[in-house]
Chains A and B, each alone.
Chain A
Amino acid sequence: MNIAVKEQEAVQTNSIKVKVSNLDLFYGSFQALKGINMDVKENEVTALIGPSGCGKSTFLKCINRMNDLIVGCRVEGDILIDGTDIYKDGVDIAYLRKEVGMVFQKPNPFELSIFDNIAYGPRTHGLRDKKKLSVIVERSLRHAALWDEVKDRLHQSALGLSGGQQQRLCIARVLAVEPSVVLMDEPTSALDPISTGKIEELIAELKNDYTIIIVTHNMQQAARVSDRTAFFLLGDMIEMGETRQIFQLPRDKRTEDYITGRFG
């Protein structure tokens, strides 16, 4: 009882999950991110908005170090997750990426069965027990609101699913490795409005258990799903605040111009 109350309090005070300080990112000599500071709170949805090429996806990929794959990409500054600097020497990248899951713009299920897609991550991290894997698969698919649609064809190809189902499968695949942060890079830009609606409902559901950071081009989406919004422009973070405040009373003229559709 006591613990439950404490957990509730923790959620309400929303401690800082991801703390970004003075983050610079360079592609060769081009500076793509300039001195970003951001606090991402636990169990909230944080939306990153801004015109194409403003650095919001690049920023997102810093949080699970997917930028490491890009030759000539250099990161300076700190990103702390639960107080640990993820760019410190000796950080285990595989573990970091297990903790910080990522959903991509284009659904990317593997050429495997639905079951094997979900079980891929846990297996990768050494789980072989078939019973436990089944538990994870069912739990993850239920959590991603896909279970009822696929429970009778778990051993059929994941590529036979519709685009929206594939994206929920990819979300389930991320949840299967038990992350605490989920990054979403324009997760609905390749989907139809109905599938988009389902994913948005899902995001609202997921924030009870996860910290979510979502990049979106769709401002209504940011307004609908997020608690906080950050506006990026040309590698700078112009302004960040509660979503309602950003959309109703932006402090910066550039934010207002973007939100009202004057550019972008």
Chain B
Amino acid sequence: MNQERFLTKEKVLANRARQKRSQNTAFTLMYVAAAFAVIILLLIIGYIFTNGFKEISWEFLSSDIEDAGREGGIFPVIINTLYLVGLGLLFAAPISVLAAIYMTEYAKQGVLIKIIRFFTANLAGIPSIIFGLFGFMFFGKMLGWSWSLLSGSATIAVVIMPTLIRTSEEAIMTVPSGYKEGSLALGATKWQTMIKVVIPAASPGIINGLILGMGRIFGETAALYFTLGSGTGIANSLMDSARSLALHLYTLVREGISVGKAYATATVLIIIVLILNLIASAFGRRINRYKENI
């Protein structure tokens, strides 16, 4: 057949050259953007660390706040922050995972579920000061928990729940349907299948969500300002007022108490977040050891 050929060698090669040029431009732009992001991050961390390490000593890490933070250390604040993170996750994680299981596997996929998804998606985007106000009115006033570790962790749990529900839902939905069918076909109930096969397979995604939630708790101030309070000692009970590192940092700068201590607090905050993230991802890998082909 002697038909006209449209894709001659010259045309294809000319197009190749053109595509290559545009690919190179795109690559260059991507490298510049990535380098920019990394440099900014390093600059911020470097700036905070160089200013912060000057103030950090064993004494700073191990002693109580004195004179509203001008003197002394942040030991109670570190402990209270860990309490807050622990309690916040303790409240939020089980509810979120169960909600995600219900929404993906049990609920009839109709209008109601769509509405719930819409609201959870939107809740995740609401400024946290609104949650702070809600926590203050509901947990603080109505339930009478006042400014306390309980009020604060309940409020922060509400703040991170939309994100946890969303990430858990996504993690559950990406589990191959073959796992579920395989388990059900062996005579397992739906609940056994969820607990023993689906949730373990979804656990990396769920843990990833928990890490995001944890970071959110560390960084949160607005939602805690009205609820956790500003107690300076280690909380001895759930009803004690406390402050987190981020809140302490805010107070130090906002009230012009000590910029040096603020940098030191920021440094400690960054280091704790890094350590906990490393632990959480190591934990995630351990749970997930069967994923890799050993």
Contact = CB atoms under 8 A, between A and B. Distances in A.
Partners in one complex: yes
Given A111-B290, A157-B293, A170 B182 contact: yes
Contacts of A120: 183, 186, 188, 196-197
Residue with the greatest number of chain B CB neighbours at <10 A, chosen from A109, A110, A159, A173: A110
B283 interface: no
A150 to B, nearest CB: 13
Contact of B201 (A102, A106, A111): A111
Interface residues of A, number: 32
B290 A113 contact: yes
Nearest to A183: B185
Contact of A101 (B176, B186, B288): B186
Given A120-B196, A157-B290, A157-B293, A104 B178 contact: yes
A27 interface: no
Given A106-B178, A108-B176, A108-B179, A64 B290 contact: no
A94 B292 CA distance: 31
Given A113-B290, A121-B186, A66 B201 contact: no
A262 to B, nearest CB: 30
Residue with the greatest number of chain A CB neighbours at <10 A, chosen from B188, B189, B289: B188
Contact of A98 (B186, B200, B288): B186
B70 to A, nearest CB: 54
A101 B185 contact: yes
Contacts of A110: 179, 182-183, 197, 201
Given A108-B182, A110-B183, A170-B182, A157 B188 contact: no
A177 B176 contact: no
A159 B197 contact: no
A104 to B, nearest CB: 6
Nearest to B201: A111
A16 B176 CA distance: 36
B294 interface: yes
Nearest to B189: A94
Given A111-B200, A124-B188, A157 B289 contact: yes
Given A66-B181, A156-B294, A160-B293, A94 B188 contact: yes
5 tightest A-B contacts by CB?
Answer: A108-B178, A98-B187, A97-B187, A121-B186, A102-B185
Interface of A: 64, 66, 69, 93-98, 101-102, 104, 106, 108-113, 120-121, 124-125, 156-160, 170, 173-174, 177
16 contacts: A64-B185, A69-B181, A97-B185, A97-B186, A102-B185, A104-B181, A108-B178, A108-B181, A110-B179, A110-B183, A120-B183, A120-B196, A125-B187, A157-B292, A159-B290, A173-B186
